[in-house]
């Protein structure tokens, strides 16, 4: 056990975590040249396309130290985006140390700081590494000063490396062995293992990834999952190389996988403790905090018949992404579906993409919103997750909305732009401090509702990409929130309703009506689009009537041409929804997200 090291890599987005992980694997010959490719641990197509890590990935490295000793290093690569901080917290719980990676050209960013605090909370040994030192714009001395100021280490403790060219990789491996403590644990005690991830495999069932704290798990053992109190036979245990490698046993301090043939996703909980049935441990491992979703949206199948299939897909997806929460929901316009909780907008986009790619599900997503707390005149507390649950204004005493503390790090020349953006989003400036002469940190308290839509994109465009953003919730505050309905020919479209601050409602309603006018197809009758709060109509647009003959161009020729055209039309119709007598295309539901202020 003294030769095992468990560590992860934490950093801001695009600071080179995956590239550094590639080099570590290459230098130690963990993977052959043939298997080598960029972002080797990011096995999802989406991760490769977007160049981001979405899931943490575990892999075992064998490293021979200069003094001849063989070491086993368990690396868990973590995501950098604020929406996936839950993945990071899970990876940290399974490690004793962390490489804190900082880009030499960009310096310390907001996510670096928040991930660092997560690591310090878990009592991890921090090894600071400055990456990309071979780049033209590298500011090595300045970044060194920033790190020393942040974590109070000595200048000689900071390692210099380049993930792309492989400079300094050997030094990092030596530092991991020398500075990160070996795992503590007793192989003789009852088995106590922490589940930090799980994946679904259509042939083997659910594969559980765990870290053994005490005891040993062997093939053929009858294991018990403490929180669900269920027993299973360990059909296969092993360690995680690039592919899973079967072993007879996995001992204390090590990271491995377990296959028991479980088919039901509900039986495996991330953060649960695994123990042996005949010799159980007395205490559960203090696992992870329950995940708090920030953004809620409805996900509905395009065809109502596909609902059961979508439910299975959601189960499997939740297994792979423990931060996704969902419950059943029905909508007059869209039928049966799910009310899902996400950690942020990027998370929501990724889930929607994964449903389409991995499970071949075409879904409609409703307007994302956050959860509010309404207090009735009788003093009852009602949690409002979507507009349909909004109580009658007459019976409502007050409404509270969630606030967050936002931390933005940027260059001084963009302070004005950021102030304008945040104050326009009802933000309150709490603090402004200069980290160095060229970096300033701004702290705002803002309503989460204002951030849900397009805040992040706007922040990037206002600062030419030079701002990094991080946030955490700070509780609820009273606010003047109203429910805005969209009416098509007098019928409410519940999927387009939104909860919004009264001051923003008129402006938002007008823009939404204009957008819908562009997107709704013209019918053989006139359509009135209205935005209303209660009985008061705030905005109106009208689409005039028309008639369209699609087969007009198919004169003469084979009848199959006409049929082909009509079939193609039929496919297009599938993606639409009949609401009363007006067809609303999929784009209309997404348009609400892309309204430019």
Binding residues: 14-19, 131-134
Spatial separation of the C-alpha atoms in residues 333 and 486, rounded to whole Å: 12
Query: Under DSSP, is residue 36 helix (H, G, I), strand (E, B) or coil?
Result: coil
Cβ atoms of 26 and 36 closer than 8 Å: yes
CA distance 125 to 181: 8
Q: Are 59 and 242 in contact (CB under 8 A)?
A: yes
Nearest in space to 364 (alpha carbons), one of 385, 326, 336: 336
| 322 alpha-carbon distance from chain centroid | 10
Which residues on adjacent β-strands are paired with residue 365?
299
Per the DSSP assignment, residues forming a β-bridge with 498 are 484
Buried b (16+ CB within 10 A) or exposed e, 536-574: eebbebebeeeeeeeeeeeeeeeeeeeeeeeeeeeeeee
Q: Are 209 and 58 in contact (CB under 8 A)?
A: yes
Q: Of 145, 143, 140, give the one whose Cα is nearest residue 109.
A: 143
Side-chain half-sphere exposure of 402, counting CA atoms within 13 A: 23
Cα–Cα distance between 552 and 42 in angstroms, integer?
Answer: 50
| Beta strand pairing call for 481-488 and 498-501 | antiparallel
**Secondary structure of residue 586 in the 3-state scheme:** helix
Q: Distance of alpha carbon 232 from its chain centroid, rounded?
A: 31
Cα(141)–Cα(453) distance, integer angstroms:
38
CA 321, 324, 329 angle in degrees (round to 5)?
140
CA–CA gap between residue 111 and residue 372 (Å, rounded):
27
Going by the annotation, the residues of the binding site for GTP are 14-19, 131-134
Cα–Cα distance for residue pair 211/196, rounded to 1 Å: 7
Query: Which residue shows structure tokens 């890599």?
Result: 9
Tell me which residue of 277, 263, 479, 485 sits closest to 370, measured CA to CA: 479
Helix (H), strand (E) at residue 92: helix 85-93
Q: Are 430 and 131 in contact (CB under 8 A)?
A: no
Q: Which of 365, 303, 333 is nearest to 492 (CA)?
A: 333
Please state the φ and ψ torsions of residue 327, each to the nearest 5 degrees. Answer: -145, 165
Tokens representing residue 171 in the block: 């030094």
Please, are residues 210 and 193 in contact by the beta-carbon 8 Å criterion?
A: yes
| Cα distances (Å, whole numbers) of residue 363 to 23, 310, 327, 351, 356 | 39, 9, 16, 11, 8
CA distances for 364 relative to 355, 372, 443, 449, angstroms = 11, 23, 36, 21
Evaluate the CA torsion angle 212, 216, 219, 224 in order and state its sign: negative
Reading the block at residue 436, the tokens are: 């160095």
């Amino acid at each position: 056990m003294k030769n095992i090291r468990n560590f992860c890599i934490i950093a801001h987005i695009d600071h080179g975590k995956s590239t550094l992980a590639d080099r570590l694997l290459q230098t130690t010959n963990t993977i052959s040249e043939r298997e080598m490719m960029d972002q080797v641990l990011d096995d999802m197509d989406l991760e490769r396309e977007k160049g981001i890590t979405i899931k943490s990935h575990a892999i075992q490295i064998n490293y021979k130290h200069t003094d001849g000793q063989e070491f086993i290093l368990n690396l868990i690569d973590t995501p950098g985006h604020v929406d996936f901080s839950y993945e990071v917290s899970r990876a940290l719980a399974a490690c004793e140390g962390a490489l804190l990676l900082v880009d030499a050209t960009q310096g310390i960013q907001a996510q670096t700081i928040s991930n660092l605090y997560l690591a310090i909370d878990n009592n991890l040994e921090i090894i600071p590494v400055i990456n990309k030192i071979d780049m033209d714009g590298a500011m090595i001395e300045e970044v060194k000063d920033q790190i020393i100021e942040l974590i109070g280490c000595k200048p000689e403790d900071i390692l210099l490396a380049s993930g792309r060219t492989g400079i300094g990789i050997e030094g990092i491996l030596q530092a991991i062995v020398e500075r990160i403590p070996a795992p503590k644990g007793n192989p003789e005690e009852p088995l106590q293992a922490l589940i930090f991830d799980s994946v679904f495999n259509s042939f083997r069932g659910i594969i559980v990834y765990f870290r053994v704290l005490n005891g040993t798990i062997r093939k053929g053992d009858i294991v018990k999952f403490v929180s669900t109190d269920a027993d299973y036979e360990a059909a296969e245990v092993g360690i995680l190389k690039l592919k899973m490698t079967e072993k007879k046993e996995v001992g204390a301090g090590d990271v491995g996988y377990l296959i028991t043939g479980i088919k039901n996703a509900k039986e495996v909980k991330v953060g649960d403790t695994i123990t042996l049935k005949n010799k159980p441990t007395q205490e559960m491992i203090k696992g992870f905090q329950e995940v708090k979703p920030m953004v809620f949206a409805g996900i509905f199948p395009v065809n109502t018949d596909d609902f059961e299939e979508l439910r299975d897909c959601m189960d499997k997806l939740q297994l792979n992404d423990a931060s996704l929460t969902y419950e059943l929901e029905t909508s007059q316009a869209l039928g049966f579906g799910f009310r899902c909780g996400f950690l942020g907008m990027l998370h929501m986009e990724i889930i929607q993409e994964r449903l389409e790619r991995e499970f071949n599900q075409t879904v409609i997503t409703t307007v994302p919103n956050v959860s509010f707390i309404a207090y009735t005149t009788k003093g009852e507390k009602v949690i409002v997750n979507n507009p349909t649950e909004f109580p009658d204004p007459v019976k409502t005493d007050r409404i509270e909305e969630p606030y967050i503390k936002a931390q933005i790090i940027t260059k001084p020349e963009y302070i004005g732009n950021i102030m304008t953006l945040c104050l326009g989003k009802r933000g309150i400036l709490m603090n402004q401090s200069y980290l160095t002469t060229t970096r300033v940190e701004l702290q705002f308290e803002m309503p989460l509702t204002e951030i849900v839509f397009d805040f992040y994109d706007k922040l990037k465009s206002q600062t030419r990409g030079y701002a990094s953003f991080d946030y955490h919730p700070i509780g609820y505050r009273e606010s003047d929130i109203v429910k805005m309905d969209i009416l098509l020919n007098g019928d409410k479209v519940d999927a387009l309703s939104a909860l919004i601050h009264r001051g923003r409602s008129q402006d938002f309603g007008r823009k939404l009506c204009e957008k819908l006018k562009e997107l709704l197809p013209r019918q053989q009758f006139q359509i009135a689009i209205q935005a209303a709060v209660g009985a008061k109509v705030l905005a109106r647009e009208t689409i005039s009537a028309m008639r369209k003959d699609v087969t007009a161009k198919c004169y003469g020729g084979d009848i199959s041409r006409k049929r082909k055209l009509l079939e193609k039309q039929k496919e297009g119709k599938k993606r639409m929804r009949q609401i009363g007598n007006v067809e609303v295309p999929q784009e209309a539901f997404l348009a609400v997200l892309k309204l430019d202020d």
